[in-house]
Amino acid sequence: MTAALTLQDVNKRYGGFHAVRDLSFEVGKGSICGFLGPNGAGKTSTIRMILGLQPATSGRIEILGADDGRRVRNRIGFLPEERGLYKKMTPVDAIAFFGALKGLPLGEGRRRAREMLEQQGLGGASRKKMKELSKGMAQKVQLIAAVVHRPEFVILDEPFSGLDPVNQQGLEQMIRGLAADGATVLFSTHVMQHAERLCDKVVLLARGRKAFEGTVDEAKATSRRFLELEGVIEAGQVAALPGVSNVEIAAENDGVRVLKAHLAPGARGQETLKAAFLGGLDVRRFDLREPSLHDAFIDLTGDNPDQDQSVKPAGQEAAR
Ligand SMILES: Nc1ncnc2c1ncn2[C@@H]1O[C@H](COP(=O)(O)OP(=O)(O)OP(=O)(O)O)[C@@H](O)[C@H]1O
């Protein structure tokens, strides 16, 4: 697959702080790539370098054949993390305005805006002012504004943040639609479930370093299955079962424990369960679980994607 984006050994330093380290990855043309990591992992810094909004300290970035994102800016659509459209504008005018910034004639921008709002079930909102829209509606309008000029490459920085599950689903549909129409999509998130449902490929970032690049299934395959057992059982009894590599106590109440038994690579769990019952262990509930992308992230990086990794500059509060 031809690459629409290539990063090779990219580094970003802010003074003495090394925010992005030796980062290399590729995004194939027409694919959806999730750029995943906790807050502060270096996702926004990388996106800003890809767009040419800030220089890399070292390394090479190529997007749509150009070595500087600014040269191909009209072929790129970008939804920044910090969002906002002029509150007094109507969605149609706001979308057409953003299109015009990318070289789309205003009249054509308005026509496409009305059509795209209609497709997203927002036809009724087109005469309202931006400030009258719900957060979910406003976010959809902002995504439409970012793609009204029909960009070949769409970059979305934390597009799901602040949306309720219904609007998150709507946004997922919109992203699928962009890729179905041939666009390449790169989006950042710290919520693994979106990536799990959407992505052809994921790039996992922790503390500025790439921890993994590949498909969601490949990421999950690096992680082990685990068996959750509840009952009056000792961790040592479970650790001695075949196929178990280590055991965590997840909960304990009045002698009844919930134990999480991580299985050794290749162990499928059935033998472990059979041995538990044959050995007379007092198991009252069991659950054999496949690892999620969230589990894989923790196994691959040792970090929890929900935890903020931002480094506060000395003597200052973090901006967020
Ligand atoms: N202009 C800057 N000067 C100094 N440090 C910065 C600057 N921009 C970002 N950082 C630091 O670099 C690290 C990476 O930040 P970045 O915003 O790229 O992370 P992120 O993964 O996008 O997280 P978030 O989603 O919260 O923005 C953080 O520790 C942040 O505090």
pLDDT digits (tens, 9 = 90+) for 194-223: 899 999 999 999 999 999 999 999 998 888
Indicate if 231 and 178 belong to the same structural domain. Answer: no
Residue 314: pLDDT band with limits 50, 70, 90 = low
- Please check the confidence at residue 317 and state whether its pLDDT lies above 70: no
- Please check the confidence at residue 320 and state whether its pLDDT lies above 70: no
Indicate if 243 and 160 belong to the same structural domain. Answer: no
Indicate if 175 and 216 belong to the same structural domain. Answer: yes
For ligand 1, say whether the CB of 42 is within 6 Å of any of its atoms: yes
What is the token pair recorded at 161?
A: 């943040």
Element (H, E) at 90: none
Indicate if 110 and 66 belong to the same structural domain. Answer: yes
For ligand 1, say whether the CB of 158 is within 6 Å of any of its atoms: yes
Q: Which of 220, 238, 255 is the last residue of a domain?
A: 220
Q: Which of 183, 204, 220 is the last residue of a domain?
A: 220
For ligand 1, say whether the CB of 277 is within 6 Å of any of its atoms: no
Residue bearing tokens 């965590």: 248
Among residues 68, 70, 71, 115, which one has the least CA distance to residue 91?
115
Q: Which of 194, 220, 246 is the last residue of a domain?
A: 220
Distance CA 238, CA 276 (A): 8
Tell how strand 32-36 and strand 201-206 pair up: parallel
What is the token pair recorded at 180?
A: 């179905």
pLDDT digits (tens, 9 = 90+) for 93-107: 999 999 999 999 999
- Please check the confidence at residue 85 and state whether its pLDDT lies above 80: no
Residue 39: pLDDT band with limits 50, 70, 90 = confident
How many other CB atoms sit within 10 Å of the CB of residue 127?
10
Residue 252: pLDDT band with limits 50, 70, 90 = very high
For ligand 1, say whether the CB of 14 is within 6 Å of any of its atoms: yes
Counting from 1 in the atom list of ligand 1, the atom nearest the Cα of 38 is 21
Separation of CA 312 and ligand 1 centre (Å): 9
Separation of CA 319 and ligand 1 centre (Å): 10
Indicate if 150 and 284 belong to the same structural domain. Answer: no
Domains of the chain: total: 2
Q: What is the value of ipTM here, to two decimals?
A: 0.94
Q: Report the residue among 12, 44, 194 best suited for mutation to probe ligand 1: largest number of ligand atoms under 8 A from its CB.
A: 44
Is 32 contained in some domain? yes
**Average pLDDT of the segment spanning 12-32:** 96
Is 110 contained in some domain? yes
Average pLDDT, the chain: 90
